[in-house]
Amino acid sequence: MSEKSGWNRMQPVTEPGAIVHQMALNETHHPPLPAVLDAVRDTAGQAHRTLDALGFGLSAALGAHHAVPPADVMVGPGSGALLQLLFSTFTGADTHTVHAWPSWEAYPMMAENAGSSVVRVPLTDERHDLDAMAAAVTDRTALVVVCNPNNPTGTVVDRGTLRPFLDRLPAHVKVVVDEAYLDFTDDGRTDDGIDLYREDERVCVVRTFSKSYGLLSLRVGYLVAHPSLLAPMRGHQLFLRVSAVAQAAAVAALGEAERITAQCRETAAERDRLHGVLTAQGWTSADSQANFVWLPLEKGVEELTQRCADHGVMVCGKPGEGVRVTVAEREANDAFAALAADFRAEFGGVA
């Protein structure tokens, strides 16, 4: 682990093939829908052609889906690639980025890649402290990143609080709203970043097809922003492109929005069930609005993570901070809950 880079997850010792339930990577257990697989097969047969190399068709489909101009959409090979492009375009040696912590560990690494730095603002009760984040902004602040829902805690910024937060920030600061897990959020719990983008040219919304849409290995992400933000980014984009197969899969997935929403609601219901089981055992766990649950732990992370791996369950352990558990099939969730109960019975003081 590196405090500088932000990488803070442990790698438990496992034997090849020992993991039965993968609950560490925030994947969905729902496979791609038939229409998506058909689009992949059809497009793969044209792999010898350039096709839509710059993703104009996908940008248009996303524009129609969100009722925004297609020119305000940029697609890329995963939301992480687009976030790195934001850091590379707008930050540098004399700037920093403000974000909550713990949050996605890639933010400090992306800043380091861009030759800049970050200011980490501690969460309060596992949630973004918007007052403290606003207070941390200086003349050197280039970006503010709000991960909503937050990874790894799963918590959201309360509805109606982001607009006043934006009003407190100086005009030179650009605000990135990372909504990788928004589709799992209960209706009315938080603001929609695209609504904020419509009102404020400083707002850039980043989303992905990797989580709710189940296209993780195909690498498709997109951001929505005004031309004032996108124009300088396009100059840095170069060959940051999405493959034709991935584009076709994403367009087909957009056409299955109702079924995707139903799958997300199913995952959210199972998330809430698992959360209830764990809190009944005595664990402290924030009300997650993502496709994972978070157990904050100052000690015992390594022991719990390794014990789970020894029993075929892989979870994401962050030493000194907690354990993040991706919601999976009911069998997997129950397997983790049983291990958590046994661990708590043996080491009850760690929670």
Render pLDDT for 87-120 as a digit per residue (tens, 0 to 9): 999 999 999 999 999 999 999 999 999 999 999 9
Q: Residue range 188-217: average pLDDT?
A: 97
At residue 248, φ and ψ (nearest 5 deg) are -60, -40
The dihedral built from the CA positions of residue 77, 82, 85 and 89, taken in this order, carries a sign that is positive
Q: How high is the pLDDT of residue 7?
A: 66
Rounded to an integer, what distance in angstroms lies between the CA atom of residue 149 and that of residue 290? 6
CA atoms within 13 A on the CB side of 265: 7
Percentage of residues in the chain with pLDDT exceeding 70? 97
Report residue 239's pLDDT band, with 50, 70 and 90 as the boundaries.
Answer: confident
Instruction: Summarize the confidence of residues 141-154 as an average pLDDT.
Output: 98
pLDDT interval class at 2 (50, 70, 90): very low
Round to the nearest angstrom and report the end-to-end CA distance of the chain.
Answer: 23
Going by C-beta distance under 8 Å and a sequence separation of 6 or more, which residues neighbour residue 194? 66, 68, 205, 224
Distance between CA atoms of residues 292 and 324, nearest Å:
7
Instruction: Average the pLDDT over 274-298 and give the result.
Output: 96
pTM, full prediction: 0.94
CB atoms under 10 Å from CB of 261, counted, come to 12
Please state, in angstroms and rounded to a whole number, the distance separating the CA atoms of residues 328 and 25: 11
pLDDT at 1: 35
Instruction: Copy the structure tokens of residue 160.
Output: 């109606």
Which DSSP string do the residues of 307-322 spell out, in sequence order?
HHHHTTEEEEEETTTE
| 80 in Cβ contact with 106 (< 8 Å) | yes
Q: What is the CA radius of gyration of the chain?
A: 20
pLDDT value at position 5? Answer: 58
